[in-house]
């Protein structure tokens, strides 16, 4: 049996948080790239410190021998027009296309409270009617179709705390309303748990056929319980340690990766954990996340070869 066709990447948020510059804001991009490459990560998702010019970005990544995994795109289709999004996305999609990226991380920011430290997650926006859900799905379908035909890139929808699509029920509804050939799912283990999926694997199994990208984020269950009970904002949770890397929290990544492997998922497994590097040193935690995933992938490959 051939080896499982997955690659292990990382998001630079382990070193420097774009939304909270107080968390590693002084850390140079080159530190993240050199340490990530040394640990063994094959690629990086993009962050605010990366070059925006496509060729400059390609050169910077090549300098450290890492690939461009993808990059977050701040979308506004929940409240905006499709034609505006098509115009707004050109620079970002052209940049990703030049790096050979296959997916784009679509994060819905219209109405979102994820970047507001003074607004609790409970105040997030919600669709009130079936018509709003259907209109949103139609715009996402249109955008996803455009990205595939124009750039050869698949829309990977990132369910996210503080946004319109946060809970398991939201994800179920979004997947039911959108077309599988136009809108893919970015499954984020940490956001799934925080959003209400006490068993992220059960949610994953419901939508395996839609998963085109995976963020491997672990959680500190007691901190998330406090975040819910005390009505914290998303960023308050980050500061207090809601998230960590695989191998350091409550999520069963053996079951997560086993489920993806059995389903034939091919793509990136991205370590992503918003933490304060002064509390959770970047290199040590990034290495723990990498080594945890690498060992699980090796075990799955060995078990497959033994059959």
What CATH number should be reported for the domain holding residue 49? 3.20.20.150
Nearest to 8 by CA among 45, 47, 48: 45
pLDDT average, residue stretch 180-208: 97
| pLDDT > 70? residue 307 | no
pLDDT average, residue stretch 275-279: 91
Determine how many CB atoms are found less than 10 A away from the CB of residue 263: 13
Q: What does the alpha-carbon distance between residue 203 and residue 260 come to, in Å, rounded to a whole number?
A: 12
In DSSP terms, which residues pair with 7 in a beta bridge? Answer: 268
User: Is beta strand 243-244 parallel, antiparallel or unpaired with respect to 218-219?
Assistant: antiparallel
51 φ, ψ (degrees, to nearest 5): -60, 145
User: Is beta strand 218-219 parallel, antiparallel or unpaired with respect to 211-216?
Assistant: unpaired
pLDDT average, residue stretch 212-216: 98
| pLDDT > 60? residue 306 | no
Q: What does the alpha-carbon distance between residue 233 and residue 187 come to, in Å, rounded to a whole number?
A: 22
1 within a domain of the structure (yes/no): no
Q: What does the alpha-carbon distance between residue 41 and residue 287 come to, in Å, rounded to a whole number?
A: 9
Q: Alpha helices of 5-122 — where are they, by DSSP H?
A: 29-39, 54-64, 82-88, 90-98
* Collapsed DSSP state (helix, strand, coil) of residue 145: helix
* Collapsed DSSP state (helix, strand, coil) of residue 92: helix
| pLDDT > 80? residue 305 | no
Angstrom distances, CA of residue 264 to CA of 28, 121, 155, 212: 37, 34, 19, 11
pLDDT band at 73 (very low <50, low <70, confident <90, very high): very high
pTM of the model: 0.96
56 within a domain of the structure (yes/no): yes
Q: What does the alpha-carbon distance between residue 223 and residue 147 come to, in Å, rounded to a whole number?
A: 38
Residue 187: its H or E element = strand 183-188
Residue 224: its H or E element = helix 221-229
Answer for the pair 280, 21: CB distance below 8 angstroms, yes or no: no
Question: pLDDT, tens digit, for every residue of 95-115?
Answer: 999 999 999 999 999 999 999
| pLDDT > 90? residue 1 | no
87 within a domain of the structure (yes/no): yes
pLDDT of 24 reads 86
pLDDT average, residue stretch 244-253: 97
pLDDT of 19 reads 84
* Collapsed DSSP state (helix, strand, coil) of residue 196: coil
Half-sphere exposure of 151 (CA within 13 A, CB side): 25
In the DSSP assignment, the letter for residue 279 is: T
307 within a domain of the structure (yes/no): no
Q: How does the average pLDDT of the chain come out, rounded?
A: 96
306 within a domain of the structure (yes/no): no
277 within a domain of the structure (yes/no): yes
pLDDT of 157 reads 99
128 within a domain of the structure (yes/no): yes
Overall domain count for the chain: 1
Q: How far is CA 221 from the centre of its chain?
A: 19
* Collapsed DSSP state (helix, strand, coil) of residue 235: helix
State which residues form the domain around 97: 6-301
152 within a domain of the structure (yes/no): yes
Question: pLDDT, tens digit, for every residue of 219-235?
Answer: 999 999 999 999 999 99
Q: Could you give the angle at the alpha carbon of 283 between the alpha carbons of 278 and 286, nearest 5°?
A: 105
pLDDT average, residue stretch 260-268: 96
Of 54-63, 70-79, 96-105, 275-284, minimum mean pLDDT range: 275-284
In the DSSP assignment, the letter for residue 120 is: B
């Amino acid at each position: 049996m051939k080896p499982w066709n997955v690659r292990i990447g990382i998001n630079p948020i382990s070193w420097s948080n774009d939304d909270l510059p107080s968390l590693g804001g002084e850390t140079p991009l080159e530190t993240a790239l050199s340490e990530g490459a040394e640990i063994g990560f094959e690629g990086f998702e993009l962050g605010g410190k990366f070059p925006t010019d496509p060729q400059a970005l390609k050169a910077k990544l090549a300098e450290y021998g890492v690939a461009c995994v993808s990059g977050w795109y701040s979308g506004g289709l929940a409240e905006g027009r499709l034609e505006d999004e098509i115009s707004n996305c050109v620079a970002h999609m052209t940049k990703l296309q030049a790096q050979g990226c296959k997916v784009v991380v679509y994060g819905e920011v219209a109405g979102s409270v994820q970047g507001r430290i003074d607004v609790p997650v409970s105040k997030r926006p919600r669709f009130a009617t079936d018509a709003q859900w259907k209109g949103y799905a139609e715009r996402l379908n249109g955008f996803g179709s455009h990205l595939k035909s124009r750039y050869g890139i698949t829309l990977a929808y990132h369910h996210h705390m503080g946004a319109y699509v946060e809970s398991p029920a939201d994800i179920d509804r979004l997947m039911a309303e959108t077309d599988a050939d136009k809108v893919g799912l970015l499954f984020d283990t940490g956001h799934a748990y925080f959003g209400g999926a006490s068993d992220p694997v059960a949610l994953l199994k419901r939508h395996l056929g839609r998963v085109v990208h995976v963020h491997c984020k672990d959680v500190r269950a007691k901190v998330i319980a406090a975040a819910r009970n005390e009505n914290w904002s998303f960023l308050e949770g980050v500061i207090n340690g809601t998230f960590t890397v695989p191998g350091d929290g409550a999520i069963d990544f053996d079951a997560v990766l086993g489920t993806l492997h059995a389903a034939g998922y091919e793509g990136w497994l991205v370590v992503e954990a918003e933490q304060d590097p002064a509390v959770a040193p970047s290199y040590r935690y990034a290495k723990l996340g990498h080594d945890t995933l690498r060992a699980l992938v090796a075990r799955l490959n060995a078990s497959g070869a033994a059959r």
